[in-house]
Amino acid sequence: MSEKSDPSVWQGFKAFLMRGNVIDLAVAVVIGAAFTNIVNSVVKGVINPLIGAFGTQSLDSYSSCLKGPCTGTGDTATGVRILWGSVLGATLSFLITAAVVYFLMVLPMAKYLARQEARRKAKESAEEIIEVTELEVLKEIRDELVAQRGSGLDRS
């Protein structure tokens, strides 16, 4: 019984993997993971030093003390700290990622699809004009034939 169900299970699994959506999703995950490293490098190598010009070079060290005394760092820290610097760093990473995805992927693809749609509509309208023109010509031929038949009957 398992011999009969195994090929269909494998065939179903193969069909699932060969769908375009699954392949596209896998590629997107791999590219996204590689892109995350680039964005993190930009934040650490460019954004943090720029912010470091005004304060410290590490956004993670920016914090506020809610309940003091706030002394020490890491596990030896006392008091209640709000680590807003790490939130700022994550927000900057998100904004940079979103901007790059939008300007380098979404916007060009939207323009490309709009151009393709305009070409398709232009082609359809050209086909309609040709069809209308052919229809007009056929109507004229019909009217001419009717007129010739009508004039031929009047001569008798």
Give residue-wise pLDDT tens across range 77-127. 677 778 888 888 788 878 877 887 788 878 888 899 999 999 998 888 877
Which residue matches tokens 């008798």?
156
Distances (CA, A) of 23 to 14, 20, 34: 12, 5, 17
- Which tens digit of pLDDT belongs to each residue from 62-82? 777 777 777 766 666 677 778
Confidence of residue 136 (pLDDT cuts 50, 70, 90): confident
pLDDT at 1: 46
Higher-pLDDT residue of 3 and 41 is: 41
pLDDT at 72: 67
Which residue matches tokens 């809610």?
66
Percentage of the chain with pLDDT > 90? 8
pLDDT at 78: 72
Burial class (CB in 10 A: 0-12, 13-18, 19+), 100: middle
Asked if 61 and 52 touch (Cβ cutoff 8 Å), the reply is no
Percentage of the chain with pLDDT > 70? 84
Confidence of residue 154 (pLDDT cuts 50, 70, 90): low
pLDDT at 126: 77
Which residue matches tokens 């052919």?
134
pLDDT at 112: 92
Check: pTM over 0.85? Answer yes or no.
no
List, in sequence order, the alpha helices (H) in the chain. 2-18, 20-42, 48-52, 84-101, 107-155
Between CA 58 and CA 25 the distance in angstroms is 34
Between CA 42 and CA 35 the distance in angstroms is 11
Does the pLDDT value for residue 140 go beyond 80? yes
Asked if 81 and 63 touch (Cβ cutoff 8 Å), the reply is yes
Burial class (CB in 10 A: 0-12, 13-18, 19+), 80: exposed
